[in-house]
A = this chain, B = another copy of it.
Amino acid sequence: MSSHHDPYSGLEAQIESNVPDDLSVSRVTYEGPELVIYTETPRLFADRDGIVPQLAKTFRKRITIRPAPGTQTEPADAEPQIRDLIPEDAGITDLEFFSTTGEVVIEAEKPGLVIGRHGSTLNEITKEVGWTPDVLRTPPMESSTVANVRNYLVTERDERREILERVGEHIHREPQSDEDWVRITTLGCCREVGRASFVLSTPETRVLVDCGDKPGADGEVPYLQLPEANPVADLDAVVLTHAHLDHSALLPLLFKYGYDGPVYMTAPTRDLIGLLQLDYLDVAAKEGRTPPYDSEMVREELTHTITMDYGNVTDIAPDIKLTMHNAGHILGSAVAHFHVGDGRHNVVFSGDVHYTDTRLFNGAVNDFPRAETLVMESTYGRRNDYQTDQEDSERTLIDRISQTYENDGTVVIPAFAVGRSQELMLVLEEAMRTGRLPTMPIYLDGMIREATAIHTAYPEFLRDGLRQRILHDDENPFLAAQFQQVDGGDEMRQDIADGEPAIILSTSGMVTGGPIMSWLELLGGDPDNALVFVGYQAEGTLGRRIQGGNREIHLTDRDGNTNRMTLRFTIESVSGFSGHADRNGLENFVRTMNPRPEEILCVHGDESATDQLSSALYQNFDCRTYAPRNLETYRLA
């Protein structure tokens, strides 16, 4: 990541010639993809309407204006002035000054009121005190993850700035190669679900997309030791499509291997991996496995994160621009669009997608100016992988719960902490509120409540109607009284199992460990109870085996003894709640693209799923399609 090219020579002069004479430009630097302009006259910049958008347009960069040190009002004087400018209703919960960058971070319950119409209040603040405001939302539900991540990033602010400046210089380096090609190498996730990991490479740049584990196959990790990815330290960028562990679990390992560059993702993905990766280490420790990295590496990763909003075109290398779009799969999940070599080629990694709208999210975006190559998930790619409409699915689920309730039984639903749990919470809350389901306790076990709180910190990533409801306490469905956290350990679980009919949402979603194992033990022996699968169960997981009809299972107790158990409760799968597009949705994703891709790589599915989807897309859309194997390299251009 070294460069002998000074990206700032000339740039400062160019910027000066693009702003009126009375505005000073004292220093120019890149922080990651962003162009940062320090000025002795921050108030005049704030006063000049449209100057920043105009610079952004001219230089085709994200632009940030910061006051040069010493130009601002002293924090002690500035704070009351700022509080005066912001309406009381905004609910400021924190306000902190950072003198090295001239920024004031304002955390508030209603950030919109801090920002003002078209940013008018922010402008007023800068004009008045000279500081650049940075606004964060105070989560409506308290989230220790959001708080921890924010606190950590505050303490690392100076180190982060150094990293961002280094990354910025690397991104804007002079291209070295006169070669001209684009390739994708598969490090995992081909003809299998799990260990998502791909290298997108050009003569100039190597980008790693995702770095996950494989549920139910602990030792099978991405082939990072391949020369195409190795040395990991030499990668130019890492892009994470979403927080699920089969895409993110081994990302901190990169830092153990010496990687020191940026990791691009959405802000909610950053917070969610903070939650999920630390839990991943926790589970490994509890199960007596040596995790491949420790929590220090998770912190390294956070320090190197650059967050992206949906739709923002961002330089991540001299020859690659990245845009993330809503994928509809989980909070912050993204379809990643790479624009390579000034239009030479465009590659889309779908990540995991849900094509239609759900209660939580709008359907996945598939509208790109150009996309010659599509790397497409295939989880439900088989010929018959059709799911029922969500309306039907909800009816089935409610019927099943009602029956179990009438039998005086309890329903347990294995669910990912992130995604399906929140979708189900919305379904169940509404069903109880409208009387379609008797009101009964809904216990959240594992990290579901915490993951839910993270959702409420990022309402702008949720579906339109839901966003509004969350921002009003009395309407926030996640705060309904029947949701109760299982925070009393096995004793509480025993009480719940012995008590009145209830619903339990518990991790892990594929029954590979976590509290769901206790629930199998506590509820599995009684035919009046029910286990309901609502999500995809990957090959090799216990969930898949139970779903496939296996009733004899082995459970390990806390003393390490293995006990055999026969499952006698009702076991049912209700489709239609998956975070993944079904076969129909996958085909529609491609069908409605305009223009359609010239070639499609079908990944992230069992062998039959990737094969059958590949055949179908080839026949229907007359493009080249492949079901790659791991360890292959495809030349795109």
Contact = CB atoms under 8 A, between A and B. Distances in A.
Interface of A: 181, 183, 185, 227-228, 230, 629-635
Given A185-B633, A632-B635, 12 more contacts: A183-B631, A183-B632, A227-B227, A227-B228, A228-B228, A629-B635, A630-B635, A631-B633, A631-B635, A632-B632, A632-B634, A633-B633
Copies of this protein in the assembly total 2
Contacts of A629: 635
A303 to B, nearest CB: 27
Nearest to A181: B631
A296 to B, nearest CB: 28
Contacts of A228: 227-228, 633
A494 to B, nearest CB: 43
B633 A632 contact: yes
Contacts of A634: 632
A228 B227 CA distance: 5
Nearest to A183: B631
A181 B632 CA distance: 11
Nearest 7 interchain pairs by C-beta: A633-B633, A227-B227, A629-B635, A631-B635, A632-B635, A227-B228, A632-B633
Contacts of A183: 631-632
Contacts of A630: 635
A84 to B, nearest CB: 58
A183 B632 CA distance: 8
A632 B630 CA distance: 13
A230 B635 CA distance: 18
Nearest to A178: B219
Nearest to A199: B227
17 contacts: A181-B631, A183-B631, A183-B632, A185-B633, A227-B227, A227-B228, A227-B230, A228-B228, A228-B633, A629-B635, A630-B635, A631-B633, A631-B635, A632-B632, A632-B633, A632-B634, A632-B635
Nearest to A219: B178
A630 B634 CA distance: 10
A632 B628 CA distance: 12
A213 B634 CA distance: 24
Contacts of A633: 185, 228, 631-633
A631 to B, nearest CB: 5
Contacts of A635: 629-632
A228 to B, nearest CB: 5
Nearest to A629: B635
A227 B629 CA distance: 19
A634 B633 CA distance: 7
A66 B185 CA distance: 49
Nearest to A628: B635
A549 to B, nearest CB: 31
Contacts of A227: 227-228, 230
A228 B181 CA distance: 15
A588 to B, nearest CB: 30
A405 B368 CA distance: 69
A590 B471 CA distance: 70
A143 B230 CA distance: 47
Contacts of A185: 633
Task: Point out which of A183, A632, A633 has the most chain B C-beta atoms below 10 A from its C-beta.
Answer: A633
